[in-house]
Structures are given as C-alpha cells and as structure tokens.
Structure 1
Amino acid sequence: MGLLGKLTAQVEIKSDGDLFHQVFRHTPHHISGMSPDLVHGCGLHEGDWGTVGSIICWSYTDDGKQKIAKEIVEAIDEENKSIILKVIEGDLLEHYKSFVIRIHVDTKGEINLVTWVLEYEKLHEDIEDPIVFIAYLIKVTKNIETHHLKT
C-alpha cells in the first residue's frame, strides 16, 4: 500500500457548466448559501477572488465534524474550466502530507460533467484514502446544481 494516492469522481450536472466554474473561480464565498448544511463560509485570506496565488479559507462540515481548510489557488485555466487548489493548512493536513484538489468542468452540448481529482500523500500507511471527502464534494456539487436549477 503506497502513501501517494489519487481519487477521481465525475458528476453530471444539468445546470450550466460555465456558471459552475465561475462560482468556484470568482464567488466561492457564495457556496455557503447554496450548500449551507455542508459549507459554512469561505473567506479571502490573501489576494483577489479568482486569481492565481490567492489564499482562501473554508469552514465546512464533513463526516459530521466542523473543519477548516486554507487553500492556495495554484492554477486557473479559463478555456478548459479548471482550477487547482493546494491545501496549505487545516484538518486535511492532520492525515495528509500534501493535498491537491482539481476541479474541471467539461461541457458538450447539453451535458456538463464536473470532475473532481484529489491528489494526496498520506502521512503514514494507516491513513484511509479520502473517500468520505470526495463523497462530500459530490454532495456540494449536487447542492450547487440544485440551487442553480431553482433560480
């Protein structure tokens, strides 16, 4: 069993893929209003919303526990609707030496596919893969979709 890992999940959404990407790029602080049971806040710690090098801090509930994650925006690709976030502080780093979250939206006609990729290095072999966390991200994705379908 290795310490390096990668998990991928894809979620088809009926809401607009461009809008989904823009929420994570420019207005992640609005996600708490779209998924209030899971995301309690998102604050800008350094930089500007939607720019590489910015640092954002999330307050969220995962697996029934209140948690935080401070992330740096490592890359944004507007053409491919992708964002790379690296966790630099918070609860995830209690179990992982490194943790990177990639969000990508593919739009083909009426179909929008959100892809989440988690790349991580466990602190030791007894640490579980972050399956619960990727399930959490799928729930957040569905909540954002439901919010946008209502508006």
Structure 2
Amino acid sequence: MGVLGKMEVEVDIKSSGDVFHELFGSKPHHVSNITPDKVHGCNVHEGEFGQPGSVVAWDYTIDEENKLLRFKHIEGSLLEEYKSFISTIHVINKGEISAVKWTMDFEKLDDYGPYPTKIMDFVIGVTRDIEAHHLNE
C-alpha cells in the first residue's frame, strides 16, 4: 500500500474569484488560451463543458454555492506515479480580494515515490496567469 497524502496552497488574487470559478467550472477549454505555455488544451470525452459529471480528460464535480471544483484524474501521466490523484479548486471570497485554494489528495504507488511539489508550483503559475489575464481585460 502506498502513502496517502494531501497538499494545499492558497493563492490571494486581485481578480474576481467568480470569474476564476466560472472559467474552470464552465469554460475549461479557455484555460489553454490564457496560459498556453502550461495548459495545451482539453477535450470533452463525454457530456458537455461546464456540466457536472462531464469527462474532460478528468471527471469533475462543481459546487456552485461554495465555488468548489473537484477533479478526479482518471488517466494520464500522473497515474504513473500515483495510485489516485484528486485536485480541488476552491475560490474563497475575502472581502476586497479573493483566494484560490488548491488541494491535492493523492496516494503514492509506494513509500518512496515523489510528492507533487512540481504540480503545486504548476497550479500557482496557472493561477497567476489567469489573474493577470483578467486584470488586463
């Protein structure tokens, strides 16, 4: 049995948290337009963009009321290093600013496998790219 783990990072943003939530919840295919050096695209395998239960290279759950999205990774290179991997994006309104909280729940294939620190760096970069894009509109 591998090691169960959880990593979190909270990134304060100046742009609207609602816009960030809508982007990942309803328009994930636009993420690659905003941050093309990090995200190269996505395709709908089943369902429609923005609909709960759709398969867009991942299975995702949308909680509109709490501005929470949960992605269960069902294929791809992450599953070469992890037995399971779930990413959660939670937009938190803090008055004048918002925060984007990324949580990674994972099970490593073995005790000596890597922790997803590079993935955390990656999602922080994606968050900053999206923030900059919306601040420049």
TM-score category of the 2 structures, normalised to the smaller one: over 0.9
Aligned match of 1:118 in 104, 110, 120? 104
1:76 aligns with 2:58: no
2:93 is matched with 107
Q: List per-residue Cα deviations over 1:104-125 (Å, max 9, x = no partner).
A: 0011221100000000000011
Q: Report deviation, 1:45.
A: 1.1
Higher-strand-fraction structure: 1
Q: How many residues align?
A: 136
Kindly provide the CA deviation profile for residues 39-91 of structure 1, in whole angstroms up to 9, marking residues without a partner as x: 1111111111122211112xxxxxxxxxxxxx101x21111100111000000
List aligned pairs for 1:57-76, cutoff 5 A: 57=57, 71-73=58-60, 75-76=61-62
Aligned residue in 1 for 2:124 = 138
The aligned residue for residue 61 of structure 1 is: none
CA distance in 1, matches of 2:46, 2:121: 28
In structure 1, the partner of 2:33 is: 33
Query: Please, what is the CA RMSD of the aligned residues?
Result: 0.9
User: How far apart are the structure 2 equivalents of 1:86 and 1:134?
Assistant: 16
Segments of structure 1 that go 5 or more residues without pairing to the other structure are 58-70
Shift of 1:101: 0.5
Q: Distance in 2 between matches of 1:101 and 1:40?
A: 18
Partner Cα distance (1:87, 1:39) in 2: 15
Distance 1:132 1:22 in 2: 25
TM (norm. structure 1) is: 0.87
- The residue that corresponds to 2:56 in the other structure is 56
Query: Which amino acid is 2:86 matched to?
Result: V
Corresponding position: 1:88 with 2:69: no
AA matched with 1:50: G
| Superposition TM-score, scaled by structure 2 size | 0.96
- Sequence identity percentage: 49
